[in-house]
Structure 1
Amino acid sequence: MRVNGKEITLSSNHKLLDFLEINQYDPQKIAIERNGEIVPKSAYHQVILDNEDRLEIVSFVGGG
């Protein structure tokens, strides 16, 4: 699986939400594209990741 251009290997299939928690992402502060499609936050607990997936995770940053 590729995450933000970096190759990683999943030991098993994970739900997207579990993957985010393991990797210390705050689901409320990110947007995710999986294989070219935006994943709605409401689907994070349903999406099962596969080693063939490509994720782009974008964090929201405040500022002024």
Structure 2
Amino acid sequence: MLPSRARTREALARFRVARERLAAAPGDRAARSAMDDAAYTLCVLMGRSAVHEAVLAAELHLAGPD
């Protein structure tokens, strides 16, 4: 069962913001924690064990038919 598109969009956006924040400040512990949390949430939400698979699944879900 897939999550709602709204929830998927929210989790994917949160992941992307966290990724950008970590890229801008790789040594920032709070940025690392936010990235870990966002990645974990996206993986659980999409039922995937790897972040790149979860991102792809989320993108496919959002691109699919209504």
Structure-1-length-normalised TM-score: 0.31
- Bigger relative contact order (CA 8 A; separation at least 6): 1
Q: Relative to total residues, which structure has the larger strand share, 1 or 2?
A: 1
Structure with greater helix share of residues:
2
Larger-gyration structure (1/2): 2
TM-score normalised by structure 2 residue count? 0.30
